[in-house]
Amino acid sequence: MTPNTFEALPLAAPLQRALADRGYTTPSPIQAQSIPLLLEGRDLLGCAQTGTGKTAAFSLPILHKLHENPRGLKPKTARVLVLTPTRELATQVGRSLETYGSHLRTRHALVFGGVGQRPQVDAMRKGVDVLVACPGRLLDLVQQRHIDLSQVEFFVLDEVDRMLDMGFLRDVQKIVSLLPAKRQSLFFSATLAPAIVKLAHEILRDPATVTIEPEVTTAEKVDQRVCFVAKEDKRPLLLKWLAKQKPGELAIVFSRTKHGASRLARQISQAGHAAEAIHGNRSQAQRDRTLDKFRAGKLPVLVATDVAARGVDVKAVTLVVNYDLPNEPEAYVHRIGRTGRAGESGHAVSFCSADEREYLRDIEKLIRQEIRVEEDHDWHLSNLEKLPVRPTGRGQQKNGNTPPNPNNGGASRPRRRRRRRGAARV
């Protein structure tokens, strides 16, 4: 029987106390189904929507096992390795570990690029219980012999789908090859694409699979809409949506490019809505300051690229705007998952111009539903709504090329090369 309260789960008293401190009483479906399996020692492939509590699903049973089986730490080693695709997600996981482990004597460290490595090296010098890391910096420190992965007992690969999207497959495989064969491995993802299932079967040992609401890939309480609009009319339409926000409500606006995010943040600020951008070209210190202001409610609008926004977990986000539709439909699921978190409701609106119709088609195919068209604005293009869409043929090119990109005259997109460059910066 699936437990319906945290008290019904056989978690150590310090963890139960931490949950009570935060007022957490009822586990989410992914937590209720995953935690008992993980406490039994099973490998796990978990799939659930963004914002449903996957971090607690793996953090709580791992912290329980560390508490029940204390061991001395060896220099430069970690008992737990949590691998994440972005710095923001690593920081979020670290914050969750502090929350759930507030009454435990565990040490954890964060390792990611974009900041100096010396503090990270110092943190690992005596060893830690939990290491949360991004692949690029982790491999750098392993090669410099500042980190030893031979003592890892628990391996967590978080946001697997995004990890593969960003081109980290080879890095993940290198890291796995450095881990001991005897370990408990956990994969968590918002989607279960064939490539993820294949990787899971390569790395996991007789895994249990927990899939929550497999027929729905986007959060049920998020009101999704699409506006058909000319590219030059997107900015005034965005300002209209931001004007609907109430005091205290937060919005995230997604741009496809770093330059576009910075420009859009300036334009929104000039229109009277305080906004800042986060993307790969900003330093980690700048990104942290911006996110801190956003979480504190001092910055009502955050403009972000996909890479930078992963890991932004703020309950007060009531609106997500896809100013540019993503050219990878899976990114849509993660974007709109920034609102409607922890059971709250939210709104997600996507602006679709003529060159983005194919992207919209791929998104609706992935989520298995048509997104409601919003016509109540001054810039609605009814002819664009009825425009026929030619199939993109994603993943079906016999010559291995990527589909044409309407934004660059039909030239194919160099996806793999671009992702590797992006991966190196995380």
CA distance linking residue 346 with residue 357, whole number of Å? 24
Q: CB–CB of 256/326 below 8 Å?
A: yes
Nearest CA among 224, 240, 194 for reference residue 371: 224
Q: Tokens in use for 275? A: 């906004």
CB atoms within 10 A of CB 393: 13
Q: Give phi and psi for 102, each to the nearest 5.
A: -65, -20
Pairing outcome for strands 372-373 and 346-352: unpaired
CB atoms within 10 A of CB 339: 26
Phi-psi region of 112 (alpha: psi -120 to 50; beta: other; left: phi over 0): beta
Q: Tokens in use for 254? A: 């997604």
Give residue 406's pLDDT.
35
The contacts of residue 317 (CB under 8 Å, 6+ apart) are: 250, 251, 252, 338, 339, 341, 346
Q: Bridge partners of 83?
A: 133, 157
Q: Which amino acid is at 244?
A: K
Q: Tokens in use for 240? A: 């209209």
Q: Tokens in use for 339? A: 């609102």
Q: CB–CB of 110/132 below 8 Å?
A: yes
CATH number of 6-211: 3.40.50.300
Superfamily grouping for domain 222-389: P-loop containing nucleotide triphosphate hydrolases (3.40.50.300)
Q: Tokens in use for 132? A: 């949360």
Contacts 24+ apart (CB under 8 A), 375-379: 377/227, 377/229, 377/237, 377/240, 378/236, 379/227, 379/229, 379/230, 379/233, 379/236, 379/237
- pLDDT tens for the chain, 426 residues long, are 577 899 999 999 999 999 999 999 999 899 999 999 999 999 999 987 666 788 999 999 999 999 999 999 999 999 999 999 988 889 989 999 999 999 999 999 999 998 899 999 999 999 999 999 999 999 999 999 999 999 999 999 998 888 887 789 999 999 999 999 999 999 988 777 788 888 888 899 999 999 886 444 455 678 999 999 999 999 999 999 999 999 989 999 999 999 999 999 999 999 999 999 998 788 878 888 998 899 899 999 999 998 655 667 777 899 999 999 998 887 888 888 888 765 677 899 999 999 999 999 999 988 888 999 999 999 999 888 766 655 544 433 333 333 333 333 333 333 333 444 334 334
Write down the pTM of the prediction.
Answer: 0.64
Q: Alpha helix locations (H) across 225-320? A: 234-243, 258-270, 284-295, 306-309
Give residue 219's pLDDT.
56
Give residue 310's pLDDT.
61
Q: Which amino acid is at 21?
A: D
The contacts of residue 105 (CB under 8 Å, 6+ apart) are: none
Q: CB–CB of 358/210 below 8 Å?
A: no
Give residue 269's pLDDT.
96
Nearest CA among 170, 235, 166 for reference residue 199: 170
The contacts of residue 61 (CB under 8 Å, 6+ apart) are: 11, 34, 35, 38, 39
3-state secondary structure 142-196: HHCCCCECCCCCEEEECCHHHHHHCCCHHHHHHHHHCCCCCCEEEEEECCCCHHH
CA distance linking residue 114 with residue 128, whole number of Å? 22
CA distance linking residue 321 with residue 261, whole number of Å? 12
Q: CB–CB of 132/94 below 8 Å?
A: yes
Q: Which amino acid is at 343?
A: G
Question: What residues does CATH 3.40.50.300 cover in the chain?
Answer: 6-211, 222-389
CA distance linking residue 224 with residue 323, whole number of Å? 14
Q: Tokens in use for 209? A: 């699979």
